Structure 1
Amino acid sequence: MKNMTSKKLPAISWPQFLLSAPYFTSALSDSVSGSFSDLPALPRAVLYWDLFDAEISNGGVAQYFYNQALSLPGFDQVPEFVAAHPVLNQYRHFVDEVHKAWYDVSEQVHAAEDEGDWPEELFKSLKPKFEALETAFFAINHDISQALNAHLLGDPHAYFDIAPLDDVTANGLAWIECRGKGFRGKLRFVDGFPVGPNVFERGNNGECDVVWFSRDRQIMVCERVGEGGKARNRDTIHYPSFRTHQMRFNGVGLESQSDGRSFWYKEGLHESYHDNGCIKSSKLYAAGNELVMEYFHKSGQLMMRTEQHEGQQCCVRYWPNGQINTRSTKEDAHEERYQQCFAEDGTDLAPNGNGTLRQTISDGGWCEGRLVDGLLEGEVTCHKKDGSLDGKAFFKRGRDN
């Protein structure tokens, strides 16, 4: 049933709503002119939260104060507005803590505003005060955004005054043709909601944007045309778990695909591909941390594998023929220490870590230098596949000088 306060809600059409995928809350800000504070509770809460999120994500709490505290209508009521949303209420402590601190720093912000220049000193002085809050916020803010998208999809009429379509009913199936600026489309409604596939043809080259949902709206798939009409992007999300999958096509083939959370946090497998279709890189993440990374030659042969082990990054490199090239370890920002270095034919080039380093790099090139006790020492040269010089560097005890 349409919300009784719909006359106050932002007006939108179904095509406008669908074309905002996968960030449906962004359609709110695009549809609103005037003050957020005049809106009904749900869209008002989302818009104030999105503004809070955007400012803190871009420049921290200091930027939120500097850009909004002195000019945003309803600024003092933001905690109350946010708390009125069933999804946001449990996260209102972020807003409460920031707003409670406003009166402690307001004089500094006023002074910075009066100076007229970008307040670098203000930002530096406030950073320690809010660093812990910002870190906690960045660990969850994208999940919150997707939870808001899921809530909005559950009842879009609670957020928008959506222009009705004559042939769409609360029950049953309906196909609707539509036209708008830069597109013509065909929408598929099931029980009053455009489950899809909803197809929007762009231009005259036959390329289309497609948005569709599972019947229960827990899964959304969005495929969009990229720049130039050649590239394509496909984004998938399962809202209850926030699990996402993204695929990027470059007009030749699959360029990359990655698993994650909320289209932001790195979780699971990330892969990229050479133009010939062979895998280029593969990385495995858990809780945002890189566990294993592999790079491949264009032939598909493994070139390098690194993994974390007891605080060390352990790396093995391979020649294009599959022969082990080097074994090395590295701790954080410390120097890389080589345990082994072999030529393509298996010859040991640096017994006991002393001798020549000849190490494969991408596109058939290599680097060459001298190892002393497993550490690079002196000049290191890099060469292209044809043997020409590509660059040089100087090392002392394994560190680039």
Structure 2
Amino acid sequence: MPLPSQYRTFLETHAHPLEREFLSKPFRDLVPQLAKLREQAKREHLWAPHLPKSHGGLGLSLPEFAEISAVLGESPIGHYLFNCNAPDIGNQELLLTHGSAEQKAKWFEPLARGEIRSCFAMTEPEFAGSNPVWMDTRAVREGGEYVITGHKWFTSSADGAAFTIVMAVTDPDAPPHKRASQIIVPMDAPGVVFVRNIPVMGEQGSDYASHAELRFEGVRVPVTNRIGDEGAGFALAQERLGPGRIHHCMRWLGISERAFRMMVQRAATREIAPGEVLGQQQAVQHWIAECRAEIDAAKLLVLDVASRIERDGAHAARDGISLIKFHVAGVLQRVLDRAIQVHGALGMTDDTPLAYWYRHERGARIYDGPDEVHKSAVAKRILGAAGMKRHG
């Protein structure tokens, strides 16, 4: 099994020198360079650590991969270089577990080899994303086809994707959690309208870190493009989100770790007066100590939840999954904020990755369920176990 240090060496040698270009140029301009590095990752047996060896990966368990994912999070292009970037990693896991033989051959295998990219279309602008059973996109069955009509947004990485997995209502009269299905839709299918990359925090979405708005206008796909049973969309989404939150949280901790190192280096060397450096300020010292404690504690919590998911399944670990989601998102925001503060005006620029992360990762407290929803869900289960009755 490759060590996290091997991935860190790869990133420090190849990814970090490219970050300035990544922050200033369209992603498509860097694809030739990144493609060479991805091939090098394969040659060094570092490719797809999350996938089984039978599909070209390294076959790591979820806790083992979590350690690697934290290292990859230290660079904005870290996960992409090893083919475990979101949303591709979630789609790979979904298709590997629930895809038909045809779906695996047509979509999963090229995705696992890194030949194509993908996206996941669930959130709709007209409905609260915190309620995943409340959506309007419809997939009406006509013979051997579904006709899909609807409006999606924050379909991350849709720009440049070969296909999307669409959450659409297939039976509006079914119970809420059995109304929707997940259906593979090629992005070049007639009726798929790419509306725009949504600007985030004043930054026009790139073709890599994009959050796209899409419309599906009578898109026809074969019924065989449905993943799993009809009405299983919500259950599949929940299954996908368990390991997915481990991936997100460890990536956030990787970002936190890199930001922390940058903050410490800046504090230790930045003179604020002749012979006096930032690190001599008590407030900065407290930030450094607090960040170290928060990052270390958060990592232990995430690894514990990853072990529980591996051992008992995502449903049994659902409280822990919610806990890490909101807790690590908060740690990430605090660490980034302090790192920017220590860097002063430099922290506001794209001369370092701090401002990029601050813009793009503020969403950590919103996507995959707002922090407040997760806190309430956990608290209700704790209170229920203590005998509190639900009203209404």
TM-score bracket for the superposition, by shorter chain length: under 0.3
Q: Which has the higher contact order (CA 8 A, sep 6+)?
A: 2
TM-score of the pair, normalised by structure 2 = 0.20
TM-score of the pair, normalised by structure 1 = 0.20
Q: Which has the larger radius of gyration?
A: 1
Identify, as 1 or 2, the structure richer in helix. 2
Identify, as 1 or 2, the structure richer in strand. 1
